[in-house]
Amino acid sequence: MIAAEREMEPKMSNKATTVLEAHPMNGGDGTYSYTKNSYYQREAANVAQTLIGDVIAMKLDINEFASSSTNAFCIADLGCSVGPNTFVSVENILEAIKHKYRSECMSSQTREFQVFFNDHAGNDFNTLFAKFPPTRNYFAAGVPGSFHGRLFPKSSLHVVHSSYATHWLSKVPEELTDKNSPAWNKGKIHYTTAPEEVVNAYAAQFTKDMAAFLEARAQELVVGGMMILILPAVPTGIPHSRVPNGVMFDFMGSILIDMAKEGVISEAEVDSFNLPVYTTSPKEMGELVERNGRFHIEQMESTSPWLEIKHSNSDYGKTLSMSLRAGMEGVLRSHFGSEITNQLFNRLCDQSGQLTRQLQESCCREGTQLFVALKRI
Amino acid sequence: MIAAEREMEPKMSNKATTVLEAHPMNGGDGTYSYTKNSYYQREAANVAQTLIGDVIAMKLDINEFASSSTNAFCIADLGCSVGPNTFVSVENILEAIKHKYRSECMSSQTREFQVFFNDHAGNDFNTLFAKFPPTRNYFAAGVPGSFHGRLFPKSSLHVVHSSYATHWLSKVPEELTDKNSPAWNKGKIHYTTAPEEVVNAYAAQFTKDMAAFLEARAQELVVGGMMILILPAVPTGIPHSRVPNGVMFDFMGSILIDMAKEGVISEAEVDSFNLPVYTTSPKEMGELVERNGRFHIEQMESTSPWLEIKHSNSDYGKTLSMSLRAGMEGVLRSHFGSEITNQLFNRLCDQSGQLTRQLQESCCREGTQLFVALKRI
């Protein structure tokens, strides 16, 4: 192949030059697996199920896709992890679409559906594939790779869904670990109570990542196609220190600092670690979509899954720390190693009563989740 | 969903009612992995690479796909295992297609390519995904499931490739293990030197499986799309006992019978085991394609990869037994358990000199591979 042609070829994601950080959820189905410890993510998704059904019923125009009616109706779940939540979401979306066909007296009977399950290449796809619902009525495929780059051909998807995934950053902003930068995040692992420069560095990275995400999806979705995003959020104007994510990450940070004080790890190890996650606000998200310019906001709504969760359950704190472990263990282990990470989560489990109290006392439980439905224009 | 509608919906493969036997190649990248022990499969595939390039150049009509030029050009490799062979084959096919575009002065520069890698759900997709070529110029997806059923939406593929996979049967014919059947395969693990009833039972299963395979692909390929199959073959008229597969499977069978005589396993264990693989002939394959009626045979050619392999290499016998282990260990382990299977392959390795001699003395080395190129009509 001649060099000029190569340059003209479509750029695929995940080339050697664009390797992004990947921190998959815990694989397999053991004690600490995401499969067995994704209760909170499921609760959060449940709150969104009705919204998804409604927005598809009211805003998705299936007539726009009629011209390509011989082709399959294609759906992608981005950041699907290992199940089972992804299967519940996909089933819900499919039912809403089929209901739509019925309500418009169109036949969905001859229409075939293809669902793409995406996550990082390091995700445990073997476990995901082993758990595919045996009675599913769709063709299924796994797509490994970062959703911050292109994953699918142009105009090949009709609906994109992503729940609790787009708050993961593609990388930790470099200045956070640069001692000479005003954004050096000493003694912290997140931005909750950090100086403004740290918050700004996180926000700038999220802006870049969301821009790349929206640009890639704008190319992959057909015109009229819909994208539904569910992600943790901070109500506009509320400080990060008062939302559940802020409280939980701060709590984990304080355990690591205790471990540094006890000499179990060094201060430098804590200083050089930062969680690559960011909690956006409705205002910020709206601005990023506007700036991209290729989507119309059909619905943007704050929801409150934390009001639904049974906080009175005596196992609540423990369930919560197991859930945090399933989601966060990978990123911590790659920095601190297995032994320290085990110790961190054992301490978190022991102190889960205290975490529960902090969440109950200081926490703003309303509007901590954002439901966004966009239409490709 | 109402029952009538469910019945009308397209049937996907791998439902609970159609669970098929799955015997993936050895996963991971350890000593006995398929990744490290697929030299013979690669040699065999190499023989076919030139043929693939030529048949695409001469017989694939890309103008037929021009009407859907906004869509991606979709390729599937069925029975891909864990690599690296699948990546070599896919790259070869892609180069041939791009060369075709160039030679017809059409632009392939704006055309996007999507490649689907298929194998059983039990295949080690995590290893496959970790080995995806970082510089690839195509979108990639993994599709778990049996190729004896539907895997893809209607008319969604342009080229299908399958190398050394379609000789695996979907199951062992039941009569082979029925003591009251004339096809009871006592004291053997394959049909090489077995009674005619056993050979017929194997052939009948292959007929059923190939019919299901061709019917599914006929639905999935666009009109004008091409399917390339590479599979072990027996030259029409030559007995199975004289082709390499026949000699090797017989040799494995004789080791198991030795183990039964020594009391390591029972005779009944050997009697109840049969290898679910079948070696077809050009005549038989041609008839099956004709019977399906939805493909035109563009090329069917016997090739001779065994003539290319360096039999003089002193490691030859050992390499061969490692290769057999990587491909066959799974199916043997699920019947005999790990310990017996280990012992079988250790004995095979110890006796590999004898196997080599048998292959050199009695074996027909010409025409042991079939290259089939079909066009969807």
pLDDT for B161-178, tens place per residue? 999 999 999 999 999 999
Distance from CA of A311 to the nearest CA of B (A): 36
Top-confidence residue, A310 or A189: A189
Q: Note whether A138 contacts B9, CB cutoff 8 Å.
A: no
Residue-averaged pLDDT of chain A: 86
Structure confidence at residue A96 (pLDDT): 94
Structure confidence at residue B53 (pLDDT): 93
Nearest Cα to Cα of residue B327 among B60, B24, B56: B24
Whether B63 has a pLDDT exceeding 60, the answer reads yes
Distance from CA of B296 to the nearest CA of A (A): 23
| Whether the Cβ atoms of residue B262 and residue B247 lie closer than 8 Å to each other | no
Structure confidence at residue B327 (pLDDT): 84
> CB of A156 within 8 Å of any CB in chain B?
yes
Q: Which residue of B has its CA nearest to A149?
A: B139
Chain A residues touching residue B72 (CB < 8 angstroms):
153-154, 156
Structure confidence at residue A209 (pLDDT): 98
**Winning range, highest mean pLDDT, from A7-16, A232-241, B61-70, B341-350:** B341-350
Nearest Cα to Cα of residue B164 among B9, B345, B372: B372
Structure confidence at residue B356 (pLDDT): 87
- Among partner residues B70, B132, B153, which is closest to A154 by beta-carbon distance? B70
Chain A residues touching residue B137 (CB < 8 angstroms):
6, 9-10, 12
Whether B283 has a pLDDT exceeding 80, the answer reads yes
Q: Note whether A154 contacts B72, CB cutoff 8 Å.
A: yes
Looking at the DSSP bridge assignments, the partners of residue A375 are A226, A296
For residue B84, say if its preceding peptide bond is cis, omega within 30 degrees of 0.
Answer: yes
Structure confidence at residue B44 (pLDDT): 67
Whether B272 has a pLDDT exceeding 50, the answer reads yes
Which of A8, A80, A137, A139 to probe the B interface (max B CBs under 10 A)? A139
Q: Which residues in B330-345 are b (16+ Cβ under 10 Å) and which e?
A: bbbbebbeeebbbbbb
| Whether the Cβ atoms of residue B37 and residue B325 lie closer than 8 Å to each other | yes
Whether A311 has a pLDDT exceeding 70, the answer reads no
pLDDT tens figures, B15-35: 333 334 566 677 777 776 766
The confidence band for A6, taking pLDDT boundaries of 50, 70 and 90, is very low
Residue type, A194: A
Q: How far is CA B237 from CA B55, B183, B300, in A?
A: 27, 22, 17
Dihedral over alpha carbons A39, A44, A46, A49 (to 10 degrees):
-150
- Among partner residues A1, A19, A125, which is closest to B125 by beta-carbon distance? A125
Q: Distance between CA B191 and CA B203 in Å, rounded?
A: 10
Whether B66 has a pLDDT exceeding 70, the answer reads no
Structure confidence at residue B39 (pLDDT): 64
The size of the A-B interface in CB pairs under 8 A is 124
Taking only residues 108 to 137 of chain B, the set having a beta carbon closer than 8 angstroms to any beta carbon of chain A reads 109-110, 112-114, 116, 121-122, 124-126, 129-130, 132, 134-137
Structure confidence at residue B20 (pLDDT): 43
Taking only residues 174 to 203 of chain B, the set having a beta carbon closer than 8 angstroms to any beta carbon of chain A reads none
- Among partner residues A16, A112, A152, which is closest to B134 by beta-carbon distance? A16
Q: Note whether A139 contacts B70, CB cutoff 8 Å.
A: no
Angle at B246 between CA B241 and CA B251, to 5 degrees: 105
Q: Which residue of B has its CA nearest to A116?
A: B141
Whether A314 has a pLDDT exceeding 70, the answer reads no
Top-confidence residue, B187 or B319: B187
Q: Distance between CA A230 and CA B63 in Å, rounded?
A: 43
Q: Note whether A154 contacts B112, CB cutoff 8 Å.
A: yes
Q: Note whether B98 contacts A1, CB cutoff 8 Å.
A: yes
Structure confidence at residue B6 (pLDDT): 34
- Among partner residues A72, A129, A152, which is closest to B153 by beta-carbon distance? A72
Q: Distance between CA B121 and CA B118 in Å, rounded?
A: 9
Q: Note whether B143 contacts A144, CB cutoff 8 Å.
A: no
The confidence band for A42, taking pLDDT boundaries of 50, 70 and 90, is low
Angle at B226 between CA B224 and CA B232, to 5 degrees: 155
- Among partner residues B109, B135, B153, which is closest to A8 by beta-carbon distance? B109
Q: Would you tell me how many other CB atoms lie within 10 Å of the CB of residue B7?
A: 9
Element (H, E) at A301: strand A295-303
Whether A2 has a pLDDT exceeding 80, the answer reads no
Chain B residues touching residue A67 (CB < 8 angstroms):
none
The confidence band for B14, taking pLDDT boundaries of 50, 70 and 90, is very low
**Winning range, highest mean pLDDT, from B134-138, B141-145, B242-246:** B141-145
Whether A13 has a pLDDT exceeding 60, the answer reads no
pLDDT tens figures, A71-118: 899 999 999 998 888 999 999 999 999 998 888 877 666 789 999 999
Question: What count of Cα atoms within 13 Å lies in the side-chain half-sphere of residue A148?
Answer: 21
Distance from CA of B138 to the nearest CA of A (A): 7
Q: Which residue of B has its CA nearest to A150?
A: B139
Q: Which residue of A has its CA nearest to B140?
A: A143
φ, ψ of residue A263 to 5 degrees: the values are 80, 10
Q: Percentage of residues in chain B with pLDDT exceeding 90? A: 63
Chain A residues touching residue B65 (CB < 8 angstroms):
none
Structure confidence at residue B110 (pLDDT): 73
Coil, strand, or helix at residue B111? coil
> CB of B262 within 8 Å of any CB in chain A?
no
Tokens of B97: 């297609």
Q: Percentage of residues in chain A with pLDDT exceeding 70? A: 86
Whether A162 has a pLDDT exceeding 70, the answer reads yes
Q: Note whether B71 contacts A5, CB cutoff 8 Å.
A: no
Any idea which of A237-251, A363-377, B38-52, B74-88 has the lowest mean pLDDT? B38-52
Whether A278 has a pLDDT exceeding 70, the answer reads yes
Q: Which residue of B has its CA nearest to A8?
A: B109
Q: Note whether A112 contacts B16, CB cutoff 8 Å.
A: no
Q: Average pLDDT of A146-174?
A: 96
Structure confidence at residue A340 (pLDDT): 95
- Among partner residues A114, A142, A152, which is closest to B142 by beta-carbon distance? A142
Q: Distance between CA A39 and CA A85 in Å, rounded?
A: 9
Angle of helix B39-59 relative to helix B85-103, nearest 10 degrees, comes to 20
Structure confidence at residue A231 (pLDDT): 93
